[in-house]
Amino acid sequence: MEIPPKSPDGSEKSPQSKELLTSNTASTLCISSRSESVWTSTSRSKWDIYHKPVIVVSVGAAIFLFGMVITSLSCIQIKNKHVYKMCGPALLSLGLMLLVCGLVWIPIIRKKQKQRQKSQFLQSLKSFFFNR
Residue 4 has pLDDT above 80, yes or no: no
Domain regions of the chain by residue span: 74-108
pLDDT digits (tens, 9 = 90+) for 18-42: 555 555 554 444 444 445 444 455 6
Instruction: Round the average pLDDT of the chain to a whole number and report it.
Output: 77
Residue 119 has pLDDT above 90, yes or no: no
- Residue range 53-58: mean pLDDT, rounded: 96
The number of residues making up the chain comes to: 132
For residue 123, name the pLDDT band (cuts at 50, 70, 90).
Answer: confident
Distance, CA of 13 to CA of 69 (rounded, Å):
63
Residue 14 has pLDDT above 70, yes or no: no
pLDDT at 33: 43
Cβ distance 92 to 64 under 8 Å?
yes
- Residue range 80-94: mean pLDDT, rounded: 89
CA atoms within 13 A on the CB side of 69: 6
